[in-house]
Homo-oligomer: A and B are copies of this chain.
Amino acid sequence: MDVIKSLDNKKIKKLSKLLLKKEREKEKLFLVEGRHLVEEANKCGVLIEVIKTEDYDFESAIPTTLVTYDVIKKLTNSVTPQKIIGVVKYLEEQEIGDKILILDNIQDPGNLGTIIRSSVAFNVESIVLSRDTVDIYNDKVLRSSEGMIFHINIIKRDLESFLEELHTKKYKIYGTKVDGGTKIKDLNIDTNKIAIIMGNEAKGINENLLKKCDDFLYIPMNKKCESLNVGVAASIILYELF
């Protein structure tokens, strides 16, 4: 098989554009780097092509293109990437299920990745992102999610109207605050249909969404600490409730 060596190769140029959100949205494709993410994508049936160096050992039935390490580097923002890249289809929407985590304007890719990972660990069925939350196909999100993005339904919605929809479907909606509301250990849940909202790293949950919550949850902590990292707070709440 031929090995693509040129950074100006038409195919490589096209693929490298998938590092940009705009291009991803258009093509409904994204790139993942490294064996673990490529394998997770493959298990999920969304891997459509493998790009790897000649010497990198990876067996699959997926169409494979051989390239040089310089070409690999053009397809990722990592400084010292692994020698394999996967081209992956956008994930399809599924039913939202009963246990829902709603994220309002989370900005840090590491935080979003961590929350996705913990959501799978603690049996969340769907993560619902506000339109201004960081893109899930951002490479830092993918890396910090440790491939868990392939094991959970993640959708994007206008949150105000989505919360109204949840109300009509009899979900109980819990907002989260640094204090005020119910201590998570004291919470008595009388329904299976639960939605929890976590807000932006600096500003918390948007005012308009706060008004639509049925109750608020908080994690008790030492007064010296103003707040927890949002990935940590989300994980503790999911651990405790789900």
Q: Which residues of A contact B (CB under 8 A)?
A: 110, 114, 117-118, 120-123, 144, 146, 148, 151, 219, 221-222, 224-229, 231-232, 235-236, 239
Contacts and interface: CB of A to CB of B under 8 A. Distances in A.
A228 B148 contact: no
B144 A229 contact: yes
Contact of A148 (B121, B122, B225, B236): B225
Nearest to A232: B235
Copies in the complex: 2
Given A110-B110, A231-B231, A120 B225 contact: yes
7 tightest Cβ-Cβ pairs between the two chains A and B: A121-B221, A121-B225, A232-B235, A120-B225, A151-B224, A114-B229, A236-B239
Contacts of A228: 117-118, 121, 235
A183 to B, nearest CB: 12
A114 B231 CA distance: 9
Nearest to A36: B226
Given A118-B228, A120-B224, A120-B225, 6 more contacts: A117-B232, A121-B228, A122-B221, A122-B222, A151-B225, A236-B239
